[in-house]
Structure 1
Amino acid sequence: MTPGLRPLRELIAAPHPDVAPLPPAARGASGTRVLRGVPFAERVGSRPLELDLWLPEDTGRGPLPLVLFVHGGAWLRGRRDDMGMLTRDWDPGPFARIAAAGVAVACADYRLSGEAPFPAPVEDLRAALRWLGLRAHELHLDLDRTVVWGESAGGHLASLLALTRTEPAPVAGVVWYGPADLTAARGPFDPHSPTTPEALLLGGPPAASPDLAREASPLAHAHRGAPPLLLFHGEEDSMVACSHSRDLAARLDGLGAPVRLRTVPGADHGWYGLSGAQVEAVFDESLRFVVRATGRSA
């Protein structure tokens, strides 16, 4: 190697996400801009982690508050830009609607249970927040006004981000039918089974690793200083029992933490069983909560 030149191995590698140029934004629906497939973290032996970012077209009003959206899929599948089966045909889509209200949205990858066990997915989402903070000036973001929003397994991870030490600390959280307790049998969940999504997340049956199961349970992290949470859950949920959200809300309320629980009659997991108008109503209330929590006028 010629003295003074960088090693070939370094030259071949793509620029690190911390310094890589941002991709050009595409025009989205409802006066929004979209940056897709932006790398935010590198993991040795794993795929690069990426995020999609929805931004309002007009950023002249100052730095934007942010929603970090976390997708579901039982921790073992799913796509970062999917808010659930009953939102997939919306036009404009849910993220464009949030951005049109003046709130940026980042939809981030995280390692799935077949790639790395807990706490890897939480670490990845914290890495996304770190990267967004690092590039906030370029993206016109205010990370001090971040709301985490997740559905199903993503709701579980969003709850953990809100209830544990995360920098920057979320100012609020929206959780749709998220598991809150990985330690006890609830509905179809058996903590002794090695084949449940929860067991795959933890690397073994939760009952065999009670300390780890407790660490992965939002219910165990409820505390008085928690940010405001809005919990939505279908009363007929056959995959994640509604008691998860009921018990988390009761624990937070008992501690004096701000929490609002909305149980939805007739709704199964993923809002299955609801009409389109009912799902829109759940989304609209969630968005109003975000707007209030971030001090943003829609």
Structure 2
Amino acid sequence: MTGAAPTVRELIPAPHPDVAPLPPAAPCAPGVRVLRGVPYGELAGSRALELDLWLPESSGAGPAPLVLFVHGGAWRRGRRDDMGMRTRDWQPGPFTRLAAAGLAVACADYRLSGEAAFPAPLDDLRAALRWLALRSAELDIDTGRTVVWGESAGGHLASLLALSPGPATPAPVGAVVWYAPSDLTTHRGPFDPHDAGTPEALLLGAAPADCPERARDASPLAHVDADAPPFLLVHGDADTMVSCTHSEALADALRAAGAPAELRREPGADHGWYGLTDDRVADLFTYSLHFARRIVMREG
């Protein structure tokens, strides 16, 4: 006895991301292949969420560790494959360089503040990590060795993901955070928690001072405990958009809890590494890459 044939309504939608075939990989540099626009999540009444993947060729040493990169843009805009204005003209690009160093890279979409309020973007990143774990055998990646890396608003979300990964996702084993907010409850630099027009307020759906519990939930500083993974926090001491005190406070809290944290203050650097020479930006990237490799490959 056979079951009923599927209806047209059931046949029309594309396969669910959990079972959809992966797109073909394309070579982008020697030893590196890239998959673009891979769906990882479906949301009723909204766009599909996608990610891009840079994968190193198999070395025979087992699945590659993973960097999950989270883009910036004040939670309001941005592209998933953009590491910031100072890396946009790099050839090869930053994600190709990470993959050439043996690290798989996933750059994931998340819902922006014009689409959904917090915790939607954090939920999306948890879903991306869940999907990557589900499809890890096909991708030849090891999500049990994931470092999250984000810049600006993406660094804020990366911090939250590292500190509160959620019950259904593999917990990141490290975090690289560039010039990111850590506290949405306190006046720091240009940020005023009473202002309903800030990017932080648009993320939360109200001025942080008017929704203190939600602002606290969205603050990495409030989620620090002794189980936090190693953090590398890199911040310009001349940042005019996100005060360096955000990274200083998070580093202090992590250390006080007994969690490993390294803080690198970059003299004279404004937000997005504005004001630095190309060589200094490249050095910050290389330093961050080496930190990620030490964590996932247990290098000295």
Instruction: Please tell me the TM-score bracket, short chain as reference.
Output: over 0.9
Picking from 237, 242, 245, the partner of 1:243 is 245
Q: Cα offset for 1:176?
A: 0.2
- State the partner residue of 2:45: 45
- For residues 104-140 of structure 1, the C-alpha deviation after alignment (integer angstroms, 9 at most, x for no partner) is 0000000000000000000000000010011011001
Structure 2 SS opposite 1:106: strand
State how far apart, in whole Å, the 2-side matches of 1:19 and 1:297 are: 35
Instruction: Find out whether 1:284 has 2:289 as its counterpart.
Output: no
* Unmatched 5+ stretches in structure 2: none
State how far apart, in whole Å, the 1-side matches of 2:74 and 2:59 are: 36
TM-score w.r.t. length of structure 2: 0.97
Q: 1:130 to 1:14 in 2, by over 3 A?
A: same
- For residues 26-79 of structure 1, the C-alpha deviation after alignment (integer angstroms, 9 at most, x for no partner) is 101242000000000001111000000000123432111000000000000000
- State the partner residue of 1:137: 137
Structure 2 SS opposite 1:17: coil
Picking from 203, 206, 214, the partner of 1:204 is 206
Task: Work out whether residues 165 and 172 of structure 2, in 8 Å CA contact, stay in contact via their aligned partners in 1.
Answer: no
Picking from 186, 189, 196, the partner of 2:188 is 186
State how far apart, in whole Å, the 2-side matches of 1:260 and 1:57 are: 31
Residue type at the aligned position of 1:268: D
Structure 2 SS opposite 1:137: helix
- State the partner residue of 2:24: 24
Task: Work out whether residues 126 and 165 of structure 2, in 8 Å CA contact, stay in contact via their aligned partners in 1.
Answer: no
State how far apart, in whole Å, the 2-side matches of 1:225 and 1:93 are: 33
Matched residue count? 296
State how far apart, in whole Å, the 1-side matches of 2:181 and 2:76 are: 14
- State the partner residue of 1:57: 57
State how far apart, in whole Å, the 1-side matches of 2:237 and 2:44 are: 42
State how far apart, in whole Å, the 1-side matches of 2:26 and 2:232 are: 32
State how far apart, in whole Å, the 2-side matches of 1:18 and 1:255 are: 37
State how far apart, in whole Å, the 1-side matches of 2:17 and 2:145 are: 23
State how far apart, in whole Å, the 2-side matches of 1:225 and 1:83 are: 28
Q: 1:250 to 1:235 in 2, by over 3 A?
A: same
- State the partner residue of 1:222: 224
Identity of aligned residues (%): 68
- State the partner residue of 1:149: 149
Picking from 160, 173, 176, the partner of 2:175 is 173
State how far apart, in whole Å, the 2-side matches of 1:165 and 1:86 are: 29
- State the partner residue of 1:100: 100
Q: 1:97 to 1:170 in 2, by over 3 A?
A: same
State how far apart, in whole Å, the 1-side matches of 2:79 and 2:157 are: 15
Task: Work out whether residues 102 and 296 of structure 1, in 8 Å CA contact, stay in contact via their aligned partners in 2.
Answer: no
The worse-fitting range, judged by mean Cα deviation, of 59-68 and 268-277 is: 59-68
RMSD of Structure 2 on Structure 1 (CA): 1.2
The worse-fitting range, judged by mean Cα deviation, of 160-169 and 269-278 is: 160-169
State how far apart, in whole Å, the 1-side matches of 2:113 and 2:57 are: 36
Task: Work out whether residues 177 and 234 of structure 2, in 8 Å CA contact, stay in contact via their aligned partners in 1.
Answer: yes
Structure 2 SS opposite 1:146: strand
Q: Cα offset for 1:220?
A: 0.6
State how far apart, in whole Å, the 1-side matches of 2:165 and 2:60 are: 32
